[in-house]
Amino acid sequence: MHGGGRLSRTYDAVVVGSGINGLACAALLARAGRRVCVLERNDWFGGAIKTDEITEPGFKHDVFSAWHPLWVGGPAHAQLGGDLGRHGLEYVNTELPTATLYPDGESAFLLRSADENAAELDRHHPGDGDAWRALLDEFFPNADLAFGILGTELWSRHGAGLGLKAVRRLGRRGAAEFAGRLLVSARDWLETAFRSERAHGLFAPWVLHTGLGPDAAASGYIAQVIAVAVQEGGMPIPRGGGQKLADALVALIRENGGTCEADTHVEQVFSGGVRTAAGETIAADAVVCNVTPTQLYGALLEGYAEKASGFRYGRSEMQIHYALSEPPSWEGDERLAGTAIVHVTPGLDGVSRSVNEAERGLLPAEATVVVGQPLPMDESRAPEGKGILWIQLQELPWRIKGDAAGEIDVGSGEWTEALRERYADRIQARLARHIPNLEASILGRTALSPADLQAANVNLRHGDPYGGSLALDQNFLWRPLPSQPGHRTPLPGVWHIGASTHPGPGLGGASGALVAQQLLQPSLVSRARRLVSR
C-alpha cells in the first residue's frame, strides 16, 4: 500500500470527482453490485451541474450546464433512465429547440421533423430544404458510424471493430471518403450545402457548444451530428432543474450500497487507492479520476509532472443569469418566445470573427449570445408570471489583451468583477435591442466570469467549459494526450474520465460509461476459470 495515512476503508472502486461522468460510472458500477465510493471536493454533487437560487428567491437557475440532449441520447441514460425516474428525474421537451436571431430581426429555426426543417430552410432560400433532405439521406444510413465514434473506446478492439464495420459496409475507398468527410470544417460544409446565409447562421453557432469554431477541422461533422440530434431529440431538460439528474444519480448509488461524500478533496492517487486531504487512505481495486489531465498528472499521480504539461485549455466562457418580473417579449418571430436556445449573432462570419477575436486575446465586439429559456418547458423554475434567462458566452480569452470594440479598458488583463460587469452590460445592451422589455423587467442579474467558473469547479480551468481544447490533435484518437489516449493511465487500475477524455465534453456521461463497461467485463482469469469449469 502506497500513500501513507490511516487506511480506513476498502472498495471495489473509488471515483474521484462527482461530475456527470463520475456519477454515471459510479451508478453503473453500484447497480452491478460493485462497492463504490465517490469523493467530491465541493459541497455539491454534479460538478458543472448545479441548480441554485443565485439571483432572487424562487428563481431556480441552472448555474452552469442546462440542456440535456446528450444525456438523454447517451449510453448511461439508456441503462439507468428507468431507475433514475424512480428517484425523481423527469424530462420535459419542446417542439422549438433552437433558432438564430440576426441583427436585422429576421430569424431561422431548427425544428423537430425533416419536413418542418426543409420548409423552414426553403423559406430562406428555395432549394435549401432539398439540401437538408439530401444531408439526412446521406447521414442516416451511416448514423451508427457517425455517433459510434463518440460512443466507442477508440483505442481498443471496439474502436478497431468500428473501423472494420465501416470498411465492410462502405469498402476501403468508401470508408476513407467517409473518414475524410468527418474532417470538414463547418464553414466548408455549410457554404457547400446551403445557399442561404440564414441557414449557415442557424447551424454555425452550435460548434461553439463543443469548444470548436466554424473554421476548425471536424467542426462540420460535429455540426451535422448536433443538427440531426436536435431534430430527432429536441432539447430535453429535467423538470425542476439539472440538479435533479445529479441528485437521482447520487440516490441510485446510495440505494445500491454506494457511498457519496462531499467536501472531500483527493490529493493523491496510486494503484490501489487514494489519499484525501484529511489524511485518510482509502483502498480500491480501481480508481476512476474525473479530473483534468493537468491535475491528474501534475498533482495526483507522483512522478508524471511533465506528462500533461503540453495539454492546452480552450477558450474561456462566461454565464449571465437573469430573474425577470415578466417573460421576455422578443421582437420579430413570435416563436422566439418559446424557443429553448436562441443564438443572437450576425451569422457564420459573426461566429468566426468572434472566435478569432477571442483566440487573439480580445473581448469580441459582437459575441455570439446563447440565450437559454427553460421556463416555457418547465414553469416550476420561477414564480408564476416571471421570467428567467440563461446566457452563455463561449468566445472569451483567459488573459485579455484588449477589446475588439475599443470600448472597454481591460486593465491588467485579468477577469476582475468590474470587467465582468462591463462586459455583461455590453451583452445586455445587445439583447435589449431584440427584447424591449428586458432592462425594465430585471429583478436580479448574476454574472460568472471565467475566473468565477474556475473558482467554482477546479475542472473548469481558465473558465474553459469543455475540459481542454478540442483541436484535432487533442480530440478523438488523441484525447486526452497523444501519449496516453483513451481512459487508461500509466498506473494499473487507475482510470481517467471526464470532459478532458474521449468523447469530450457535454452531459453524455459517455467516458464514465465506457470505463464502467471495461471494469465490469469479466477478467481474463475469471473467463478462463469459467471455461475450465464447463
Ligand X SMILES: Cc1cc2nc3c(=O)[nH]c(=O)nc-3n(C[C@H](O)[C@H](O)[C@H](O)COP(=O)(O)OP(=O)(O)OC[C@H]3O[C@@H](n4cnc5c(N)ncnc54)[C@H](O)[C@@H]3O)c2cc1C
Place of cell 468527418: 182
Q: x/- binding map, residues 229-268, to ligand X, per CB under 6 A? A: ------------------------------------xx--
Residue 499 as a binder of ligand X (CB under 6 A): the answer is yes
Residue 415 as a binder of ligand X (CB under 6 A): the answer is no
CA distance 352 to 485: 29
Hey, which residues does 286 pair with through a beta bridge? 13
Report the residue number, 202 or 291, with the smaller CB distance to ligand X.
291
Residue 405 as a binder of ligand X (CB under 6 A): the answer is no
CA distance 514 to 516: 6
Among 51, 94, 210, 319, binds ligand X (CB under 6 A): 319
Report the residue number, 65 or 224, with the smaller CB distance to ligand X.
65
- Contact present, 497 and 480 (Cβ < 8 Å): no
Report the residue number, 214 or 505, with the smaller CB distance to ligand X.
505
**Only segment of 64-72, 114-122, 244-252, 343-351 that touches ligand X (CB under 6 A):** 64-72
**Only segment of 65-73, 128-136, 197-205, 427-435 that touches ligand X (CB under 6 A):** 65-73
Distance of CA 355 to the CA centre of its chain: 18
CA distance 526 to 404: 62
Rounded least distance, CB 296 to ligand X, Å: 9
Task: Characterize the bridge pairing of strands 341-344 and 98-101.
Answer: parallel
Report the residue number, 325 or 517, with the smaller CB distance to ligand X.
517
Buried (b) or exposed (e) across 220-235, using 16+ Cβ within 10 A?
bbbbbbbbbbbbebbb
Rounded least distance, CB 497 to ligand X, Å: 7
Residue 54 as a binder of ligand X (CB under 6 A): the answer is no
CA distance 179 to 182: 5
Task: Give which of 307, 272, 263 is closest to 484, Cα–Cα.
Answer: 307
Residue 205 as a binder of ligand X (CB under 6 A): the answer is no
Report the residue number, 392 or 441, with the smaller CB distance to ligand X.
392
- Contact present, 330 and 337 (Cβ < 8 Å): yes
Among 64, 102, 189, 203, binds ligand X (CB under 6 A): 64
Residue nearest to ligand X (CB): 19
> What is the per-residue DSSP string for 407-429?
-S--TTSS--HHHHHHHHHHHHH
Q: Map residue 400 onto helix, strand or coil.
A: coil
Report the residue number, 154 or 340, with the smaller CB distance to ligand X.
340
Among 13, 14, 15, 21, binds ligand X (CB under 6 A): 21
Residue 316 as a binder of ligand X (CB under 6 A): the answer is no
Report the residue number, 41 or 112, with the smaller CB distance to ligand X.
41
Q: x/- binding map, residues 364-393, to ligand X, per CB under 6 A? A: ----------------------------x-
Residue 275 as a binder of ligand X (CB under 6 A): the answer is no
Residue 72 as a binder of ligand X (CB under 6 A): the answer is no
Provide the edge-to-edge strand list for the sheet that holds 387-396. 107-110, 98-101, 341-344, 369-372, 387-396, 316-324, 442-448
Of residues 432-471, which lie at the interface with ligand X (CB under 6 A)?
453, 457-460, 465-467
Cell readout for 330 is: 422578443
Q: x/- binding map, residues 101-140, to ligand X, per CB under 6 A? A: ----------------------------------------
CA distance 184 to 329: 38
Among 291, 377, 470, 494, binds ligand X (CB under 6 A): 291
Report the residue number, 382 or 396, with the smaller CB distance to ligand X.
396
Residue 206 as a binder of ligand X (CB under 6 A): the answer is no
Task: Characterize the bridge pairing of strands 480-481 and 341-344.
Answer: unpaired
Rounded least distance, CB 169 to ligand X, Å: 30
CA distance 15 to 22: 6
Among 19, 220, 241, 480, binds ligand X (CB under 6 A): 19
> What is the per-residue DSSP string for 267-302?
EEEETTEEEETTSEEEEEEEEEE-S-HHHIIIIIST
Rounded least distance, CB 371 to ligand X, Å: 13
- Contact present, 364 and 395 (Cβ < 8 Å): yes
Rounded least distance, CB 289 to ligand X, Å: 8
User: Cα angle at 403 between 401 and 407, to 5 degrees?
Assistant: 140
Q: Which residues contribute to the site for ligand X (CB under 6 A)?
A: 16-22, 39-42, 47-48, 64-67, 70, 265-266, 290-291, 295, 319, 392, 453, 457-460, 465-467, 498-499, 505-507
